[in-house]
Each structure stands twice: as C-alpha cells, then as structure tokens.
Structure 1
Amino acid sequence: MDKVLVLGGGFAGVEAAIYLTKQDLDVTLVSNRDYFYIYPTSIWIPTGEATREDVSVPLDKLAMKHGFQLIIDPVLQFEAEAKKVTLESGRILEGYPYIVVALGQDKMQLKGLEHTLSICGKPEEATALYERLETLIQKKQGRIAMGFGGNPKDTSAVRGGPAFEVLFNVDTYLKKKGVRENFELTFFAPMEKPGQKMGEKALVMMDKMFKMTNIQKKVGTKITHFEEDGICFADGMKLESDLTMFISAGTGHHILKVSGLPLSDAGYVVTNEYNEIEGFDGIYAIGDSASLMGPEWRAKQGHVTEVMAQNVAYNIMNRIQNIDSKRSYMEHLNILCVMDTGNGAAFVYRSDKGGKMIPMPIVGHWMKKMWGWYCRYSKLGRIPRLPGM
C-alpha cells in the first residue's frame, strides 16, 4: 500500500487525510495540536454564543473514523528534496513517496501586535476576546476597534470577512445587553476600499450596514504600530481603543521558507493548478501554504482549500494507477461565504462575472449555524457529505 504523509491538521490537511484514506492509501497526518478547529464558526466565541470546545473536533476521533494514522507533534524542519520531516520531539519521518504540505501560513508582524487579539490567530485568542469584552460590558462602556491588514506581495492573503463578522456580532451583542449606546465601535484597515474583493455592489451595501449600526471607519491609511490603548497610523492619528481585534495578513510559513521548495515573493509554495510542485516529484502543497493562482480578487478560502485537498487525493491515486487524468482547482476559484451579523447574515459571492451581496435577515444567522453543525458532523462521518461540499 502506498504511503502518504500529510503535514497539517487544519481544513486542508484534514480533508486531504480523509479523501486519501478513501483511496485505500496508507495515510499519516501530522498536526501541532490534537483538535481540528473550525475557524469560520469561532466568530461566536467573543460574544459567548460558542465555546472553543463547540468549534473543535478531536483529531483522534477523525483518525479513528476514517482510518488514517495520527501524530501530534509540531513540524520542526522539512527537507523537501530528501522528503525528510523532523518533528519537535526529534522524531524523523522518512520513506513517504507522497507528501502533502498543508501547514497553513504565518502572520505578518507589525510593531505592537501583542497588544491585539485575532479571531484568526491561536484559538486561545478568541476566548481572550470574550473575556475582554465581558470586562468592558461590566463597566458598561468602552472603545472597541476591529480591523485587518493586507500583504502588498499577495492580495489573496487577506482575511477580511471574519473581521466584519465579529464586528457586527459584537454590535448585535451589545444591543442585546442594552449597552450599545455607551460603546464606540470602529472598523479600521490600511486599504482605501477594504472588502473590495466582494465587488462594488457589496461595498455599497457594507457602507450602508456601517451607517445603520453606527460603526465608525478609519480606512486608507497605513498602520504604523499598535499600543496598549490604541492603533497608530501614518497620518499621525491614534485611534484609541480599550479592545483591539486585528487580523494580520498572511505570509509564508516559516518552515517552508527553509524547505528548499520554490516560493512566491510572499513566501507561499508555487504550484501548478493541480497543486504539484515543479522539480519535486510526489510533493503537493494545498490550502494556505500554496500560492493561489487566479485574478486579483482571489482569496484563500476554506471551500477552495477543500477542493484542493480532494483533487490531490484524486491526482495521487490516478498517478499510482498510471491514469492520465488530473483535477484542477481553477474552476472552483470564487469567493463564497455567508457573512454572519449575529441577528442575520449576508450571502456573498464573487466570480469573474462580478460580485453580489444578498441580505438574509434572521434566517442567514441560522444558516451559518447549520453549516457549522454540518461541517463538524459530516467530518465525523455521522451525516453524509453533500455533493460538492
């Protein structure tokens, strides 16, 4: 039986391990933590609507259900040419003809970033956001600033959606608590038109949502650094804040920077549309580790990541069987999400034909809740996977 090593226990790695195992391959998954974290539903942790346990799935349960081997041990070094992986414990993994790199990405570092919390960072930060928000609510007043940054070397490395979601969820939560009028909520970002990837129509609707919820904006100015009590900008302005949430843009994973693999200017692994890497036979890169091909508006999203993972399983098995057929992720390249607001949502879609945002009051919130339930239990094999999901 052919052996496959999957590096990473996030959306990309877990999906790859599941689908590779379906091909009757000998699969080993290596992860730095013992649970699969459902980031899209972690947006409700800061408002107490969910806990970390609610949005986590133990990896040993997934391994047992699907039949892959599991190693919980962070990757310390990856030597691509030798197909050699050294783990933090000192354990060395060799002899795998196929390796799927799904290590995710690192975050761009700004001065004073330690004064912020991120919904897209370590899971512990989401819980810290909840605790900090509850402290302010007990005081019945506060200044809250939430935003995201960009990577000028790669426009796909931006995580804007979760910032909008947490911001609108906090607005809804403060209203439920009856203290919204005592809080200043501000959205900030360095680009002129944050959220432009969603299309012009979506931008117009976002502006309407900001005005309806009395959320202020500070956009179009470079962020110089963060301080304990605020955000400082290149124009000399300081946005004072008692609680700052900031989603830093992504950059290449530090392990991959010294792996010998070909990298983009932003540090992501350069692949073709089949997630193969030129000059490195049997090694594939998927998800946030891979440099995403496509138009300027492209974005690293979970559904594209899972398509990559499923395609790689298909492509590896066909290669083993000497079948000349491969699947590309390019036809699935779009922006697709349900942007939750706590009391509703908006359906967002973007393709080469343009973008749209459709309001979904009340029902949209429960649709996203149902997606989280579906994600968890379909991966555990307790309910069937829907076609294309």
Structure 2
Amino acid sequence: MTRITVIGAGFGALTAIRKLRAADRALGIDVIAPKPELVYYPSTIWIPTGLRTPEDVVVDLKPFFERQGVTYHPASVTGLKDGGRVVLTDAGEVANDGLIIASGGRFLKKLPGIEHAITPCEGVEAAVRIRDRLAGMEGGTIAFGFAGNPKEPAAMRGGPIFEFMFGIDQHLRKRGDRDRFKLVFFTPAPKPGNRLGPKAVEGLMREMKRRDIETHLGHKLKGFEADKVTTEGGEFAADLIVFMPGMTGNAWFDNTDLPRSDGGLLQANASCQVTGQDKVYVAGDSGSFPGPDWLPKQAHMADLQAEAAVANLLGEFQGKAPSHTFKAELICIVDTRTSGILVKRTETRNVILPSTPVFHWAKRAFEWWYLRQYR
C-alpha cells in the first residue's frame, strides 16, 4: 500500500487529507500533529470582544480523521531522514512514500522586550489574554502593530491586526467608554496593507481616521517595554500591545537537508514541490513560493497550494511529471465586528468593496460552511 504522510493539522494539511482520500480510498494516510484539532484562526478576531469563545473556534478532528480513515500520530516533528522518506518525531519514526509538509510557520521573536506584546495569531490562548486584559481596563492606550521578515517579504500576516483593532474599537464604543482609550496603529511600513492593493491602503487609512485611531508609520521597530513601544522615529506609551511579527520556518526544518529561502522557509517551485526533493511537497506558511510580491499567507492560499501538491504527488506515483500549479489569489473580508470590507486581488485585478454589514455576516456564514466539513 502506498502511504503518504501529512505534517500538520491546519488548513493546508486538512485540505490535503480531503483531496488525497477523495482521489484514492485505498491510500494509506498518516497525519502528524501535536493535537488532533483545528484552530479556525479567522474567527479568533472575535474572541477579545466576546463574539466567539475558544470552544467556538477549536474543532476536534478525531471524528474527521476517523471518517477519512487516516492514522493520526500525536507527536511533534523533530526532523527528517532518508531524503524525506522517514519523518522523525518525539514519539518515534513514521515512514512514507510521499510527504506533504503543512506545519505552518513560526513567528520571529527577536525584538527586545517582545514578551511584553501579545501575538494574537499564536493561538486561542493569546486571544483570550487580549480579552482578559481588555476586560480589566478602564482606559489607557492600546497599540496595534505588525512587521515582516526582512528576508522574506511574503512571510507576514498583517490583516488580522486591522481586524483586532477595528473590532476592539467597535467593542469599546458599544461598551460606552471609547473616549477613555487611545488606539494607536504602528508598523515599519509607510503604507500599511499595501499587499492588499493601493485601494485597500487608502480605505484602511480612511477607516482609521474615521475611528480616531492614531498612526505611527514608516519607522523601524527597536523594541517594547511593559508600557512602551520604541521605534527609530520615537516612542509612545502603551498599556496593552497587540503585535504580529514576521514569520519564518519551523525549528525542526534545521534538522533536515531541505532547501530554505533566505527567510528560513522551505523553498518550493510553482508545483509546490520542495525544490530538488523526491515526492516532498509543501503548502501554506511553511513554504516560500514563486509568485507576485503580494502573495498572501492566508488559509485560502494554503488550500490552493495543498490541492496542487496533492495532484502533483499522486501524479508522480503514476509516472507523471508535476504540472499542476496554484492561482495567486488574495481574498479576505477585513471585519470590524459589525461590518466588513471585501478585498480581492489577483495578478490582473484588485477589487475593494466598502464596509457593509453584509460582509460581516458573509464572514460568519463562511465560517459555518468551512467548518462543517470537519466537525
């Protein structure tokens, strides 16, 4: 029996599992992840303001794994050997005939004092910390910011910061004490949200101005203190810091011979094959892929890359050369808790539709539609 190992339990990994099983009911599929659960990160933006609870956004995958007939290995990957044919874990070795790596990325935590900032996309626990800190505040300054990986421009995830910021602003207004708070948005980028497109930058800046959110843009970050953000352009007080650093590859990549990009991700070609490797593919945040400079790190992109990886890997078992590629497409709803801005970008078009409650409810409807296949 042909056996394929999938590393991870996030968006790209689960799409790979579904596509593999749909293509071949007899295929042996091994899944390696520390926990059998999916964290639906797009909805963690609503945890700090009480629109969602941790239980709402964490899906137990054991029933899904059983339906798909996969063998789940509760373990953390530590490395590879034999050209990727054996995955090393803290619970033993898992052999394979083909490998799909979808284990996500790792946030860069090199800035001095970064322990004083909360990185919201690190997990549900981080969103809960923001919720609890916010609930205990009667006023003060809340700083929201993001940065990138200087060696890997695509390895960044700034969009959720706008959503946390707009959602908390809306929550404070509903709470009736927004006037007691100062909200400040900061980033080294002079044009925040530029990856969403020029129109999106203009729209986001207008939205911040309308909500009386101050900005501190275009200055390299120097570090954080418990009550302060420091940049090369000055410093400002902050009682709560919500910050998304740039991303790099998983630590276990260092214990492999896999090729890496300058930013530490796995170097992939347009077919999602790890460059120069035999039947080793990558999808999502773990990989560095060819494409436009705005190529997003988001769930939708991970799904598209996983589909291409599965098609090419299965084709290789049939003696076919990899030929499937993925579409470079950014699509998201920047949510404000009661409304949303729709942004779509491809290599030929960039569309932004203004804020409306319809898009907020569309985001919630998509959450239900997407998660139903895994519940």
TM-score by length of 2: 0.95
- Counterpart mapping for 1:312-351 below 5 A: 312-323=309-320, 326-329=323-326, 332-351=327-346
- Counterpart mapping for 1:1-389 below 5 A: 1-24=1-24, 25-79=27-81, 81=83, 83-89=85-91, 91-94=92-95, 96-109=96-109, 110-136=111-137, 140-235=138-233, 237-323=234-320, 326-329=323-326, 332-380=327-375
Give a deviation string over 1:176-199, Cα, whole Å, max 9, x none: 111111110111101111111122
Which ranges of structure 1 fall in alignment gaps of 5 or more residues?
381-389
The separation in 1 between residues aligned to 2:230 and 2:49, in whole angstroms, is 26
SS of aligned partner of 2:121:
coil
Note if contact 1:80-1:259 (Cα within 8 Å) is conserved in structure 2: no
SS of aligned partner of 2:315:
helix
Residue 207 of structure 1, CA deviation: 1.4
The separation in 2 between residues aligned to 1:38 and 1:159, in whole angstroms, is 15
The separation in 2 between residues aligned to 1:300 and 1:188, in whole angstroms, is 20
Structure 2 residue identity aligned to 1:319: E
Residue 105 of structure 1, CA deviation: 1.1
Residue 325 of structure 1, CA deviation: 6.5
When residues 142 and 58 of structure 1 are mapped into structure 2, their CA distance, relative to the original with a 3 A threshold, is: same
Residue 350 of structure 1, CA deviation: 1.7
Structure 1 residue identity aligned to 2:6: V
Note if contact 1:199-1:354 (Cα within 8 Å) is conserved in structure 2: no
Residue 204 of structure 1, CA deviation: 1.3
Note if contact 2:344-2:352 (Cα within 8 Å) is conserved in structure 1: yes
The separation in 1 between residues aligned to 2:77 and 2:338, in whole angstroms, is 41
The separation in 1 between residues aligned to 2:306 and 2:7, in whole angstroms, is 12
Residue 354 of structure 1, CA deviation: 4.6
SS of aligned partner of 1:130:
helix
Structure 2 residue identity aligned to 1:158: M
SS of aligned partner of 1:225:
strand
Give a deviation string over 1:128-172, Cα, whole Å, max 9, x none: 111111111xxx212111110111111111111100001000011
Structure 2 residue identity aligned to 1:341: T
When residues 93 and 324 of structure 1 are mapped into structure 2, their CA distance, relative to the original with a 3 A threshold, is: closer
Which ranges of structure 2 fall in alignment gaps of 5 or more residues?
none
The separation in 1 between residues aligned to 2:270 and 2:69, in whole angstroms, is 28
Note if contact 1:154-1:266 (Cα within 8 Å) is conserved in structure 2: yes
When residues 66 and 148 of structure 1 are mapped into structure 2, their CA distance, relative to the original with a 3 A threshold, is: same
SS of aligned partner of 1:81:
helix
Structure 2 residue identity aligned to 1:217: T
The separation in 2 between residues aligned to 1:258 and 1:303, in whole angstroms, is 29
The separation in 1 between residues aligned to 2:298 and 2:84, in whole angstroms, is 31
Note if contact 1:149-1:190 (Cα within 8 Å) is conserved in structure 2: yes
**Range with greater deviation from structure 2 (356-365 or 339-348):** 356-365
Note if contact 2:279-2:316 (Cα within 8 Å) is conserved in structure 1: no
Residue 34 of structure 1, CA deviation: 2.6
For the aligned residue pairs, the C-alpha RMSD in angstroms reads 1.5
When residues 199 and 92 of structure 1 are mapped into structure 2, their CA distance, relative to the original with a 3 A threshold, is: same
Note if contact 2:145-2:161 (Cα within 8 Å) is conserved in structure 1: yes
Structure 2 residue identity aligned to 1:205: G
Residue 15 of structure 1, CA deviation: 1.3
The separation in 1 between residues aligned to 2:358 and 2:275, in whole angstroms, is 46
* Aligned positions, number: 372
The separation in 2 between residues aligned to 1:58 and 1:364, in whole angstroms, is 27
Q: Which residue of 2 aligns with 1:385?
A: none
